[in-house]
Structures are given as C-alpha cells and as structure tokens.
Structure 1
Amino acid sequence: MFQAATAVGLASALPELSEAAPAHKTVKGSLDAKLKAHVKNVVVIYLENRSFNNLFANFPGTQAPLSAVAPEACLQKDRNGAVLPVLPKVWGGMVPNSQDIGGKHYAIKEDQIKDLPNGPFKLVDAEGQPLPEAVITRDLWHLFYHNQMQINGGKNDGFAAWGNAGGLVMGYYGETNKNLGLWKIAEQYTLCDNFFMAAFGGSYLNHQFLISGRTPEYFNAADTAAKKKIAVLADGPQGVRLAVAPDCPGALDGPPKFVNDGAITPDGYAVNTMAPPYQPSYIRPAPGGDPLLADPADANTLPPQTYQTIGDLLSAKSVSWAWYGGAFQAALDARGGGAKPNFQYHHQPFNYFKQFAPGTTARAEHLRDGGMGDSPISNKFLADVVAGKLPAVAFYKPQGNLNLHAGYSDVESGDQHVANVIEHLKKSPQWKDMVVVITFDENGGWWDNVAPPKGDRWGPGSRVPAIVVSPYAKKGQVDHNFYDTTSILRLITRLHDLPLLEGLAARNAAFRARGALPPGDLTAALSFR
C-alpha cells in the first residue's frame, strides 16, 4: 500500500463527487466474509490534541523513530525563512497555572525555560527534571491555516514560527514508555504509525471529518454577522497562507499576528471552531427565542448542516449506532463547565446537523449522554459496555478533563481513563466480536517529524497516534500503511456495505489523480484465522 511520505504543496478544492463504495464480494473465506462473520461491534474512542511524536516518539518498530531523524531535518525556521538560532521562548510559560503534583509545585513561566536548541526536546520542568504527565501545560494553537503554514509543503519547519506557544511545539514526553497506559496497549495490539488527522487544523473540523469526511458550509457568511469571521489570505480564496499583519514580529520576539485569522474561508467553508446551532452550545439562545437553539444571529453560530453523515448511512441500512458524549446531559443541565467535566461543545459533531435537531427521533436514538467519570455507575457508556448493550457502531467522546487536551486536561488522567475503558471493553460480553480504534482528533499544535501525504484542499494534516485493539488485531505489531481519520469511516463502510460518503469519494479522487492510493480502511491491522 501507499506509504506516508514527505509531501510538497497542497491540493486545491475538489468538486463534491458521488461514488459507490468499492465492491468487496463476500466470497467464502475472503477478508470481507471473515470481517462480516467476526466483527459485530466497532468502537471509536476519540481523544484530543497529541501528535504521534508527542507521546510515541521512539516506540519500537516504527518506520521513522525520532531518534533516527537527522537533526538538520528537524530545524525550525523564522517567519522570513531563515533557520532559527534557538527555539523561541514558550510564550506565556509552559505551565502558566500553578499546580501541585506528587508533592511538588509546578508553575513554569515564560523566562524559566529559554534558549532551547533548535530541535525536538524532552519536556522538562524548570529544574531540568522530566515533566510529569499529570501536569497540565499551556494550550497551543491548532488551526486550519496555521497547521498548513507549519507543515510548509511537507518540510514541517514552520511549527515554532506559526504557533502561539513558541518552542513548546517541539516538546515531547520522554518517559511514556514507562508511564503511559496507551503505550502498553499499543505494545499488546497494533499501533498505526502512518495515521494522519483527516483535516488541517483543529478539533471542530476533524470531528466533522470523523462523521462525514467533509467540511461544513457557510456559503452566505459574507451576508451575515459572520462576515467578520472570514479569513484574509495572502494567496487567494482557496489559498493556504494567512495574510500576515504589518506589525508581525519575528519568531524570537513573539507570537505571529495576522490581518484576520478567521474561522471561515473566503469561499464559504467553516474550517475553524464554530458553535453548534443546537443546545448544548457555547452560544446561548436568543433572548425570547427557542431555548433548544443557539442564537442563529450570533456570528459564532454555524447554520445547521444537511448533508449525509456516516450515521445517516448506517440508519438507512438499519445498523444500530450511537455517539456517546461524555457529560452531554450535564451540559444540557448547565453542569458541564468548570475544571471537571469541562464539556466541549464543538466536540459533538452530530449536534451541527438538521437531521439530528432537538425533537427528532434520530437525536433521541443516536445522540446519547456518555455520563461522567470512570465507573459504570456514573459513566453511561461504560454501563452499556458492561451490560453488553453497545450498538454495532459506537463513538465515545470522553468528557473534557479526561480527553488529554493540553490547556485543560493532563495526559495522565486521560490516559488512565482510556486504559480503564479498554479493560471494561475486554470484559464485555461483546468483546469477542469487537474492533476498537483509539485515536486523536488532531495534533494539538505539536510538531511531528513525518509529513502528511499530499491529499486535497482539506488535508490530511499532521500525524497522530492510532491503536487498533481487538481479539483480531495483530498482536504487538506496528502497521506502516497510510491511514487518516476517514479510515475509520472506510472500515465501517466496508463492514456494513454502505455507499461511499461524498467527502471520501473526493479524497479518493485527489489521491488517484496523483497516482497514489487513498487512505486505507484499517483491515490490514486485523488478522482472521
């Protein structure tokens, strides 16, 4: 299969295409026959904001371990293209919010870690000791245009220059082989080391790609209050580079400044975070308006989307499915804020679609409260796991403080949560027929040494970890095949003989136009005997 490799340039937008799913004859003894005979449940655990290098830099058996990468291949450049003499400071500090972890106080300010050599480095505290995974670091920009400018045509040399966290982008956890439950899970099952986030940028857009493989539309944005959210580009309406502000400093002097790094492309696609049109949403209802809606006149509210999702296709085939949103009901009850559970509204992708609006049968059947915490008593997803009541396709989104997102979640808590979920799944009566995919929505702004292959206008973006866990997963293997987030949709599509979503057809066409194979469907990580 096509292997991930350094790519140059970025594709322009493709017209939406309609394409039937590839024909996979269910011949006795074939892979498809075995897949359908043995796999009755697909579970997707969708975590947050870590590049592959950030957690798995030197995992044994990977094609491109960080330790084997030449230092000159990691060099970061200034905004004028010159190689930086050192990494920038960590703007705002690595740990701006004071924390007490393991009897030690952590508050790492901007001037405490500086003049770092230009290259990747193990995350340490102000005393040079390994930074515990339990410490919450500052957040980093992870946005549509910024990610493309950081990738810089496959060179990956713009991360320090075009992020807002300075040198922090080059950091990685150096003791995950000893401390990370996910590392141990990867050792037991199959780690995919050429798996990329489907779309450039952030969580909002990659959640949309997880369920539909395409970018939300806001074609009349210029005629609404959202006009102010239209990005100003340096290279045309379908370009990849933001227009830099006249007073933008050099990379060693501060974060970049832009004319307008908005959420909407000049030709009307919503690529950075917009609010769901339905509650729960971070935009409140209009005064005197429908309490189930976000204020539709607010510039931050995305109009309801109407195109097909994987859920629609599953429902049309009478295949059971559900999205379990951690703390979803708590958010509806106005209890979703604070450090715990820290519910994230833009992580609920089906809540952007008209067919799943409040009051619809589809919403009641498929958008479920995942509950909270680590016990089946409080966590409704785990309760269904224990009871053997998971639908054929289940998406699980942990609550905010357990999703590993820098800025509001630490690695340790989320890692322990996922390890606990996997243990419950392995004890479930449905385990013998199950395939679990653990992955991250996007890189969170963290650098990675493997550049994404050239796809279409929307992605793929940076490399992220993905682990296939199943009685049928190849044990102790590293899968080098090329995948992206849409590979999960491709697996579900193949398993249930679904038509191909338009976004997947468009991505297929982009790769085939270059003589390359599109992302795989993860079946190479499975073995049926």
Structure 2
Amino acid sequence: MKKKLIHATPIAVAAAALALSGCGGNDDNPRPSISTIKNIVVIYAENRSFDNLYGTFPGANGLQNATAASKLQLDRSGQPLATLPVAWGGLTQPKQSVTVTEAQTANMPNQPFSINDPAGLNVPLNIATRDLYHRFYENQMQIDGGKNDMFVAWADSGGLVMGNYITNADTLPLWKVAQKYTLADNFFMGAFGGSFLNHQWLVCACTPTFPNALNMNAKTSVSAVENDGTSLTLDPTSPASAMDGKPLFKNSGNLTPDLYAVNTMQPPYQPSGNAPADGGDTALADPNPAAGTTLPPQTATHIGDLLDKANVSWAWYGGAWGAAVAARQSGQWTSVTAGNLTVPNFQTHHQPFNYFADLAPGTEARAKHLLDGGMDGSEFIKAIDAGTLPQVAFYKPQGNLNEHAGYTDVESGDQHIAEVISHLEKSPQWKNMVVVVTYDENGGFWDHVSPPKGDRWGPGSRIPALVVSPLAKKGFVDHTQYDTTSILRLITRRFSLPMLPGLTNRDEKLKANGAQPMGDLTNALDIAL
C-alpha cells in the first residue's frame, strides 16, 4: 500500500521513490507512532537567515526564487538605492587573516551578494564579519510589512545585510546533515529582533515584563516608538539616506513603552553580565545597576514547568556554563563576559532559564535542570555518549562556537554542531531521538521570504532549521510553516502537555490575519499521526 509523501521536493528523487513505494511503512510494517520518540534534543545556534547559509540548497525556496522586487532595497525615503552603501566600519572584524575595509565595499550593486565569492570579496567561512543590528523594532522596520526591502535602510552595517555565503557539502558541515535528513525552508524566528527575546520564546513563548521599570534606572531604556507601534522615532540628526550613515533613533531601548523587555537584558542571577551589588548576595546580579539592564525574576510558565508536572525529565546544557560560574566566583569575569573575544565568550543572555524565579540559585530545580555543557560541549557530549540525556535536552554552544557574526565565524560553530550530531547518531538513545538544529534569529541578515503576519511579537525573519533523526524523512525539504515555537509544539504534542498561552495566542492571530497556524515539526517525521 503506497503512502503519500507530504511536501516532497526534487532534492532526492531516489529517497522520494523509496518513500512512495512504501518503505516508510505499510500494512505489514506500519510506521511508528509519535510515542516512539523518547528523546527530543534542541541545538540552538546564532544569528543566520536562511538565505545567508542555505540560499542555494537544492529543492529549497532559496535565492533562485527571490524576485527582482524582493532583492531591491529602498532608501529611507522609499526610493530604490542606486547602489548598496558601504559596510560601515569595514566588513570584517579586525586582526584577522582576511580584512575587507569599508572602502572595498563601495559601489556594490543593489542586490544580494556572496561574501565568500572568490570573484568578489572572497571572505571565507572561517573569518568573522562585523556584527549587524538585530533588534526588536529595527527588524520590523526592515521587514517593512513583508516586503523585506528596507533591510539596508534600517541597518547599522550598510550593505553587509545583503550578504550570503556560497555553501555546499564540501564547505558547510551541516549541509551534509541537511542532505541526509530534513531541512525546513519555511521556518521563522519566534520573535522579532535579537537573541535575548528569541531565547525567551524558545522556552516560554512569552515576552518578559519589567513592571517597575519606571521607578528604577531602567526607565532610560524605554523605547521612543511611533503611533504604529512598530517603528522607532528618528532622531532629528539622523542621516536622510542610508548612503550617508546608519540611522539614529530618539531612543532604541530595551523596553517597550508598556514595559515589556524586547532587547538584551541581563539575568537577575549569576552568571550575569551585571555584577552583584556591593555587599549583596554574590549569587545575584545587582537589581538596579546604573545601566538599568538587570531584568527582575520572571514568573511566567515555561516549558520546564509543564515537563516537571508531567514527570518528563529535562535539562538546559549551557556551553561553558561551569567556566562562567567559576569565573564569576573567582573575580575573573573578563575572560568570559559578553563582548570579550576571549574564548569561550560566554553569553549570559543566551541562558533563558536563568531569568526565572523557580530556577533561582539554591533551588533544587536549578541544580537538576541548569547543567554545565562543558567547554567545547564536553559535558554535553559525555551525556550523549553515555546515553544519559534527559527526555528533553536543550544545548547552547558557547560564544565562539555559535556562529554569531561579530565575535565568531560560521565554520567553527557549524563544524562543532556537526560533531555533536555525529555523537548523537552513535548514542545509545539515538534510535528513539529527534534532534532539532536551528538558529535563534537572523542576525540582521536579509532573507527574501515574508514572515506570516502573527501577533505583536512575531514571527520574525526566516532562519534555517534541520530535523535530524532516524525517524526524519530522508533527503527531504519540508515547506511546512514553522517558527521557533514549533519546537515547543513538538514537545507539547509528544508528551501530551497543556498548550502554553503564547502558542494558542499566536495561532489565533495567524488565523485572524489569514495565515495558517504554526506546524509542530511532525511533517518532517516519517511517523503515523
């Protein structure tokens, strides 16, 4: 009895033929049910749009599908740019073996370009570019109602936002993994903007709050926003054209006018980018530092709470977490603090559970669930090899291995994640495992696909996602609409959990706007539903 292959693409004709012939399951050998999944592993990398890394992947909705209109970038006036502006400050980070200066990026055509094109800028995948804006309001202004035509206009990096990489199985280690399993090409970041907010949406499908901000130093971080609720108010001195410099805003802060935290805030608990208060508890961050960037403990329900109630084991493995804790305790924090290029460049705002009151220092829950992933993921890999991963495991690579522009390159992180997957494939738990590899957000890089119109918080721009599993469809490109919350949906469906409010609200808003509700990644799996 033949089974229909959902969302099949030409990427692997042979694989499709096998599936259609019934090898994925028949009356005598039925496909496994969702209960076959015993372990879900989430690997969360950093800051790449789909087109930036997978724009030429066979069978995917890539650069070849981008229309002339979707490629053309408009200036702040709404008129097409004659050329791309320079990459302000240069395209590459300083002190590297390859350097591309600001002047070398002048007069580039107004269209996407390949950063590593040998006939062009020729910046290989192992060289870090400068960072780019990836912030809540700026991302919405760049998306421009779905036209994606103002990425350059509202960037602080000039033409770099239009950059992508020529990649294949020989240059990008995870490309081979995508060829072998499932690549999702219609997967969007859960929230507009940057890493802080998208990590929160990964674990709770919610946006943090700071209700007392106006009575604290955080009051200076309330954004100045136009009446549309999505655009920042320009400073009168802001250059009129992207050709003349980056935009200047009256206040692009961390908080919305109604006191939701949307850009980078620091955890209230150590390890935090904010030191303890003078004479205060050394396990805590100063609750009211001069910069006003310590978020108060959050009390919203997160996925860990639901898993605990259902007696499902789970853990967050933070790469270099143990090193960061030790550095804070010993006073050597400069070796790991955010913004420092010293390995491992631990990023405190990439640890979302460290913001929640029920996982505070000293609690049994913290000791049980917030685990050290080890330097270079060594402790996480030990658990993989020993077959002792909990039923749900999140892994966050340390800063120099997460692919974030500005402080690391693509190649080192991609190779690291591919090596972790190699261990997972050999794990005693592998046969019942589903691994999801994705990126927290686009890092400011342009993508040609319009995100569906959802709720106030997202979804934002399109990002890569891989589903890796013996249960995954092989050699398959999945066009199902997903976003970061689809990971929570998969966990929820598999373990029969109640829906987090943010998931229900997003689907209601999507449907109200004429879009489909978000998928739960099961279309990427060869299982019976």
TM-score between both structures, scaled by the size of structure 2: 0.90
Which residue in 1 is equivalent to 2:58?
A: 60
Which residue in 2 is equivalent to 1:318?
A: 311
Mapping 1:116-127, distance limit 5 Å: 116-124=108-116
The 1:179–1:149 alpha-carbon spacing in structure 2 relative to 1, beyond 3 Å, is same
Mapping 1:378-527, distance limit 5 Å: 379-527=378-526
Which residue in 1 is equivalent to 2:376?
A: 373
Runs of 5+ unmatched residues, structure 1: 4-27, 101-105
Deviations 1:250-280 (A, max 9, x none): 1000000000000100011000000000000
Range moving further from structure 2, 126-135 or 53-62: 126-135
Give the partner amino acid of 1:264: L
Give the partner amino acid of 1:152: D
The 3-state SS of whatever aligns with 1:148 is helix
The 1:96–1:341 alpha-carbon spacing in structure 2 relative to 1, beyond 3 Å, is closer
Deviations 1:313-344 (A, max 9, x none): 00011100000000011111115344211000
CA apart distance, 1:124: 4.1
Q: Is the 8 A contact 1:339 1:408 kept in 2?
A: no
Q: 348, 353, 357: which one pairs with 1:354?
A: 357
Mapping 1:163-202, distance limit 5 Å: 163-202=155-194
Runs of 5+ unmatched residues, structure 2: 1-5, 8-26, 328-334
Cα distance between partner residues in 1 of 2:117 and 2:418: 26
Q: 37, 43, 59: which one pairs with 1:45?
A: 43
Cα distance between partner residues in 1 of 2:305 and 2:348: 21
CA apart distance, 1:300: 0.5
Cα distance between partner residues in 2 of 1:343 and 1:129: 30
CA apart distance, 1:77: 0.7
Number of aligned residue pairs: 491
CA apart distance, 1:96: 3.5
CA apart distance, 1:415: 0.7
Which residue in 2 is equivalent to 1:25?
A: none
Mapping 1:197-216, distance limit 5 Å: 197-216=189-208
The 1:156–1:177 alpha-carbon spacing in structure 2 relative to 1, beyond 3 Å, is farther
1:86 maps to 2:86: no
The 1:242–1:430 alpha-carbon spacing in structure 2 relative to 1, beyond 3 Å, is same
Mapping 1:144-155, distance limit 5 Å: 144-155=136-147
Cα distance between partner residues in 2 of 1:325 and 1:32: 35
Cα distance between partner residues in 2 of 1:188 and 1:315: 34
Cα distance between partner residues in 2 of 1:96 and 1:410: 10
The 1:33–1:290 alpha-carbon spacing in structure 2 relative to 1, beyond 3 Å, is same
Give the partner amino acid of 2:237: D
Cα distance between partner residues in 2 of 1:516 and 1:154: 13
Q: 67, 78, 97: which one pairs with 2:94?
A: 97
CA apart distance, 1:303: 0.5
Cα distance between partner residues in 1 of 2:75 and 2:69: 15
Deviations 1:162-205 (A, max 9, x none): 01110000000013443001111100000000000000000000
Q: Is the 8 A contact 2:31 2:527 kept in 1?
A: no
Q: Is the 8 A contact 1:49 1:442 kept in 2?
A: yes
Give the partner amino acid of 1:326: G
Deviations 1:141-177 (A, max 9, x none): 1000000000000000110010111000000001344
Mapping 1:169-318, distance limit 5 Å: 169-235=161-227, 239-249=229-239, 250-298=241-289, 299-318=292-311
Cα distance between partner residues in 2 of 1:447 and 1:130: 19
Cα distance between partner residues in 2 of 1:262 and 1:175: 36
Q: Is the 8 A contact 1:323 1:366 kept in 2?
A: yes
Q: Which structure carries more relative contact order (alpha carbon 8 Å, separation 6+)? A: 1
CA apart distance, 1:65: 2.2
Give the partner amino acid of 2:79: A
Q: Is the 8 A contact 2:158 2:242 kept in 1?
A: yes
Cα distance between partner residues in 2 of 1:434 and 1:209: 23
Give the partner amino acid of 1:336: V
Question: Cα RMSD between the aligned structures?
Answer: 1.9
CA apart distance, 1:32: 11
Cα distance between partner residues in 2 of 1:33 and 1:426: 19
The 1:297–1:354 alpha-carbon spacing in structure 2 relative to 1, beyond 3 Å, is same
Q: Is the 8 A contact 2:453 2:515 kept in 1?
A: no
CA apart distance, 1:127: 7.4
Cα distance between partner residues in 2 of 1:188 and 1:91: 39
The 3-state SS of whatever aligns with 1:85 is coil
The 3-state SS of whatever aligns with 1:108 is coil
Cα distance between partner residues in 2 of 1:469 and 1:520: 17
CA apart distance, 1:516: 3.4
CA apart distance, 1:514: 3.2
Cα distance between partner residues in 2 of 1:359 and 1:33: 42
Cα distance between partner residues in 2 of 1:202 and 1:276: 16
Cα distance between partner residues in 2 of 1:213 and 1:139: 26
Q: 57, 65, 70: which one pairs with 1:73?
A: 70
The 3-state SS of whatever aligns with 1:222 is helix
Give the partner amino acid of 1:242: L
Cα distance between partner residues in 1 of 2:314 and 2:209: 25
CA apart distance, 1:509: 1.5
Q: Is the 8 A contact 2:32 2:527 kept in 1?
A: no
CA apart distance, 1:68: 3.1
Cα distance between partner residues in 2 of 1:500 and 1:43: 20
The 3-state SS of whatever aligns with 2:225 is coil
Cα distance between partner residues in 2 of 1:112 and 1:514: 44
